[in-house]
Amino acid sequence: MTTSKRLDNANVLIYSHDSFGLGHLRRCREIAHSLVENYKGLRVLILSGSPIIGSFDFRARVDFVRIPSVVKLRSGDYTSLNTHIDLDQTLSIRSSIINHTAKVFAPDLFLVDKEPLGLRSEVRKTLEYFRGTSTRVVLGLRDIMDDAEALRREWSRRDIAAVLDAYYDEVWVYGHSLMGNPLDDIGLPSDVLQRLRFTGYIMRHVPSVRAPDWQVPEQPYLLVTTGGGGDGKELIDWVLRAYESGAPMRYPALVVLGPFMPIAERHEFIRRIDALDDVEVRTFSPIMEVLMERAVAVVAMGGYNTFCEILSFDKRALLVPRSTPRREQLIRAERAAALGLLNYLDGDGPRRTDDMVGALNDLPDQPLPSSRGIDRMLHGLDGISERVTELIKGAAPDATSTASARR
């Protein structure tokens, strides 16, 4: 997006709870970088619970405040990353930092990622504070949240409809209506649904920094990634069994395990990969965009950020989505496959080695996503920038009515 507009002395505060994986942090970082690139004078501060946020580079006028980290368990419960601090105490500290930062930074726009009240309602006090200010408040959602019935039960139990009505000016969906509406059929009132806007998917770009030579293989490869890696054991095992089987494979593989993979699993996978001539391994890479862009094709679980990268870099892809604790990845894979954007295997099935061998060897022959007209789906950063301008500098009457009502 090219613009001559300025938002002098404007502040945007982004909250990202980051309880598991890398998706929330990478999405918020991409949005922040796009905003400061498009608008001179705009500053962005990210509130993040990611323990590895310091491993990423940030543009000028983008900074972060790291709050104490928590981890989401496979059961769906949470625990403090620092086992010496009680979870309730950790959440109390997080809430205090969030609230104090919001008051001092005094943002013109507060963007909350995914969780309307934050992790365990830790943002409620901040939302209440902003009701008496000129700060615009926006909820940003993935293209797909969960199975509609599961999301309806969860949001009904937490009375999220009342939260959206009381605190939020708009709800942004970082996706396209071709993939469905994440808030359909969950019982939200019409006046809340009227605040929903599809921004388009968030396009990813290859960073301008030079990638270290050791990071990127010289020969063509299939990129196998599990994002953060905390729940990627089954995918990695299935792919490695294909290469261990002795069956002819058309391309070697580069496996990125992810920084949150348990140490014992990581060591076992590295041991197995060291015995293979056609598989390389990386524990973590801050230049995933480079690895993605140079790959022949991608094998992944199907999280939001990986899906955006697949579309942005026009990569053939095979997804092996998880279906617990949320069905988000499975639903995304099913809908994307129905649109002809990629292929997927059912990770909840028997995971036969022959099925993976066949899928990996068929992968390079799939149609490219661009053959399905994905250019109309990838305008998320432009859409977000336009809404930021409207909300900060003065929205059109139909977009301000709900804001006026909540104040």
What is the helix (H) or strand (E) element at residue 322, kind and residue range?
none
Q: Coil, helix or strand for 130?
A: helix
Neighbours of 353 (CB within 10 A): 17
pLDDT at 399 over 50: no
pLDDT at residue 161, rounded to an integer: 97
Least confident of 79-88, 93-102, 172-181, 183-192: 79-88
pLDDT at residue 284, rounded to an integer: 87
More confident residue, 68 or 344: 344
> Mind listing the pLDDT tens digit for each residue in 346-380?
988 899 999 999 999 999 999 999 999 888 899 99
pLDDT at residue 398, rounded to an integer: 43
Which residues contact residue 307 at a Cβ distance below 8 angstroms, ignoring those fewer than 6 apart? 143, 201, 332, 336
Q: Please, which pLDDT band fits residue 209 given cuts at 50, 70 and 90?
A: low
pLDDT at residue 353, rounded to an integer: 98
pLDDT at 18 over 50: yes
For residue 29, give the nearest of 14, 17, 49 by alpha carbon.
14
**How large is the average pLDDT for residues 285-300?**
92
pLDDT at 162 over 80: yes
More confident residue, 148 or 49: 148
> Mind listing the pLDDT tens digit for each residue in 78-118?
666 665 678 889 899 999 999 999 999 999 999 999 999 99
Least confident of 76-80, 87-91, 155-159, 293-297: 76-80
Joined tokens for residue 5 = 């507009």
Whole-number average pLDDT of the chain: 90
pLDDT at 175 over 70: yes
**How large is the average pLDDT for residues 203-215?**
75
pLDDT at residue 402, rounded to an integer: 40
pLDDT at residue 5, rounded to an integer: 60
Domains delineated in the chain:
6-203+379-406 (3.40.50.2000), 222-376 (3.40.50.2000)
C-alpha dist (Å) from residue 30 to 34, 62, 147, 362, 377: 6, 11, 27, 32, 17
Contacts made by residues 322-329, CB under 8 angstroms, sequence distance 24+: 322/231, 322/234, 322/347, 323/347, 323/348, 324/74, 325/74, 325/75, 325/76, 326/145, 326/146, 326/147, 326/150, 327/146, 327/147, 327/150, 328/142, 328/144, 328/145, 328/146, 329/301, 329/302, 329/303
Least confident of 65-74, 278-287, 390-399: 390-399
pLDDT at residue 400, rounded to an integer: 37
**Burial class, 147, CB count within 10 angstroms (exposed 0-12 / middle 13-18 / buried 19+):** middle
Neighbours of 182 (CB within 10 A): 21
pTM, entire model: 0.89
More confident residue, 269 or 285: 269
**How large is the average pLDDT for residues 20-34?**
84
Quote the percentage of the chain above a pLDDT of 70: 89
Q: Please, which pLDDT band fits residue 21 given cuts at 50, 70 and 90?
A: low
pLDDT at 164 over 70: yes
Quote the percentage of the chain above a pLDDT of 90: 73
